[in-house]
A and B are shown apart, each in its own frame.
Chain A
């Protein structure tokens, strides 16, 4: 009896997850983000700048929190970030990402209210998000 109930419940949330994911995928903010991501991925110059920025981030990480004079590659990191943010394709991507993030935070807050715990934090990866 318990097993049957458990299977039924599991099927229910899995079905609702499909409906939820489909509704999110159809939201204009999601579609705009998808287009911006595709645009970014197909832009060779933007891709090169992203690689440079990520590499500068990795190089600067061991020096994080140290005083300016000891912080090694932090000036390179700032320069690559400036270049990156000046690229129109990247700007479009970050704007779309911010917009989608705001929607997802709203959605996650609604779920958290219902389930009684911070849903977004509970399903976020515990490791860093930059890798």
Chain B
């Protein structure tokens, strides 16, 4: 990438950061990341899910394990910071999709499909 293109890209990214949707998403993400209780809940869920998958594989899964994982899922659903972050993420993705559509119109091809790393590689 040339230095000129890099500079124009950074200016565009900076302008995107000023959009209310991106600002709301950043604030919600920082709140979630800095909240000890939410981070603890996420860590407990992660550990329990690993344990669940391990026990499912070796056949030692119990009703208690299933109930414990469901309990943590419920706690996550009721966590206000996670809910706010989830809503902000959906909003910022809708916004980004609109930006992508406008870029695609301007460039004459689908920007998102071209710029996303080719994990599925469905187009050959």
Chain B residues touching A, majority SS: helix
CA distance A111 to B5 in the complex (A): 12
**Contact residues, A111-131 vs B (CB, 8 A):** 111, 113-117, 119-125, 128-130
Contact A9 B9 (CB under 8 A): no
Task: State the Cβ distance, B30 to closest chain A Cβ, in Å.
Answer: 9
Interface residues on B, range: 35 or more
Task: State the Cβ distance, A88 to closest chain B Cβ, in Å.
Answer: 16
CA distance A39 to B96 in the complex (A): 32
List residues of chain A with CB within 8 A of the CB of B15: 9, 12-13, 15-17
Contact (A13, B19) CB under 8 Å given A104-B111, A120-B112: yes
**In the complex, B102 has a CB within 8 A of chain A:** yes
Interface residues of A, count at CB 8 A: 46
**Contact with A123, one of B1, B10, B20, B103 (Cβ below 8 angstroms):** B103
Chain A residues touching B, majority SS: helix
Contact A122 B16 (CB under 8 A): no
Nearest to A122 among chain B residues (CB) is: B96
Contact (A119, B96) CB under 8 Å given A9-B20, A27-B2: yes
**Interface mask (B91-110 → A, CB under 8 Å = 1, otherwise 0):** 01100110111110011101
List residues of chain B with CB within 8 A of the CB of A108: 115-116
Q: Which A positions have Cβ atoms within 8 angstroms of B? A: 6, 9-10, 12-21, 23-25, 27, 30, 34, 81, 94, 100-101, 103-108, 110-111, 113-117, 119-125, 128-130
